[in-house]
Amino acid sequence: MKRTSTLLLACFLVALPLVVLLLWTVATQWLYPALVPQQFGGKVLGQMLQEPNFWPAVLNSFVIALATTVVTLLIAMPAAKVLATQHFMSQRLLTFMIYLPFILPAIAIVTSTQMLFIQWHLTGTFTGIILSHTYFTLPYAMQIILESYRKMGQGYALTAKSLGAKPWQILRTITWPLMAPGIATAAGLTFIVSLSQYLPTFFIGGGKIMTLPLILLPYANNGRFGLASAYSVVFLLVTMIGVLLLKQLIGGWHHGLRN
């Protein structure tokens, strides 16, 4: 009983700020000290939709996050396949290497790669932003996909190979369907992480490419609660659409994998 009430309290604390956020998006007037808005309406949402940067930001955010997800999976899957069964590096060193982006300060990495990207003419481009996002999403994806590979084991792929399947047949008929739940999780997480990036988009994009966090941060910072909340809700919608879409695309099969 005590435990359940603690969980209930925790969920209440999680829910409360979310409710306030939602209320701000539909409030047209909410003056101190009212607990709920004095007037409701779609004024804020209308104002947001009128902003010239709104649709470009939504579209850019979505495209960048989706592309980052594809690039991340394309890099992480083959690497994880090798690393899951590798003999040439200690497990600890490998883990350290994969997690390094979690340890090193984002601002330090972003600002110094910005100097390199300037030389390579990658600043202000989608490619540059996607590459920098991928650097930050790779640890998440690697962690999940490595775990999936280890859990699946080598036996299925070896057996398929012995039965005469070509590498791409193995990928299509065995590895992909068996790992789909893990890949979908990795893809969803990658999408979320990419969508929330501020620093790499700001520095590498050089202000030329607008995304939702780039609009949201100044509004939040300047206390424009209504607009900031509206953008937050849009942000969460884009997140949900992206994650569900990826789940659908990757598909997968749910018939009790062996442990």
Partner 1 sequence: MTKKSLLFLGPFILLNSAVILAALFKTIQVSLGYYPVIGLRHYTLAYFKTVLGDAAFQRTIGYSLYLALVATILALLLGLGMAFILLKTSANHPLLANFFKIPIALPHIIVALMMLQVLSQSGLISRLLYQVGLLQQIDQFPLLIHDKGGIGIICVFLYKEIPYVAVSTLAILKQLQLGYVQVAANLGATPRQIFGRVILPMLQPILATLFIILFCFTFTSFEVPLILGSPANETIAVTAYNLLTQADLTVRPTAFALNFIMSLICLAMTLLVLGISARLPGGRRHREKD
Partner 2 sequence: MGLEISDVSLHYGRKQILKHINLQVAAGEILTLFGPSGVGKTTILKLIAGMQPLQSGALDFRGDFSQERTILVLQDFWLFPHMTVFENIAFGLKVRHVNTTQIAQQVQAMITILKLQGLADHFPDQLSGGQQQRVALARAIVLKPKLLLLDEPFASLDSSLRQKMHQLLLELQQQYHFGVILVTHDRDEAFELSDRLAVLIDGEIQQIGTPQTIYEQPQTRQVAAFIGGMNFLAGIIQGQQFQFESQEITVVNPNQLTGPVQLVIPYEVAASLSHSGIQAEIVSLQWQPSGVLAHLRVGQQTLVLTNIQGELHPGEVVYLQFGANLQVVAN
Stretch that binds partner 1, among 37-45, 56-64, 153-161, 232-240 (CB under 8 A): 232-240
Instruction: Give the Cα separation of 10 and 186 in Å (integer).
Output: 27
Tokens in use for 243? Answer: 């994650």
Closest Cα to residue 210, out of 107, 67, 61, 63? Answer: 61
Residues contacting 217, CB < 8 A, separation 6+: 198
Instruction: Give the Cα separation of 145 and 183 in Å (integer).
Output: 6
180 or 193: whose CB is closer to partner 2? 180
Contacted by 253, from partner 2, partner 1, none: CB < 5 to 8 Å by type: partner 2
Which parts of this chain interact with partner 2 (CB under 8 A)? Answer: 87-88, 153, 155-156, 158-166, 169, 173-174, 177-178, 253, 255-258
Residues contacting 60, CB < 8 A, separation 6+: 209, 210, 211
CB of 183 to partner 2, least distance (A): 14
Does 20 contact partner 1 by CB under 8 A? Answer: yes
Does 32 contact partner 1 by CB under 8 A? Answer: yes
88 or 168: whose CB is closer to partner 1? 88
Stretch that binds partner 1, among 39-47, 153-161, 191-199, 247-255 (CB under 8 A): 191-199
CB of 25 closer than 8 Å to CB of 45: yes
Contacted by 11, from partner 1, partner 2, none: CB < 5 to 8 Å by type: partner 1
In a 3-state reduction of DSSP, which class is residue 254? coil
CB of 168 to partner 2, least distance (A): 10
- Give me the amino acid identity at 89: M
CB of 8 closer than 8 Å to CB of 213: no
Contacted by 9, from partner 1, partner 2, none: CB < 5 to 8 Å by type: none
Contacted by 32, from partner 2, partner 1, none: CB < 5 to 8 Å by type: partner 1
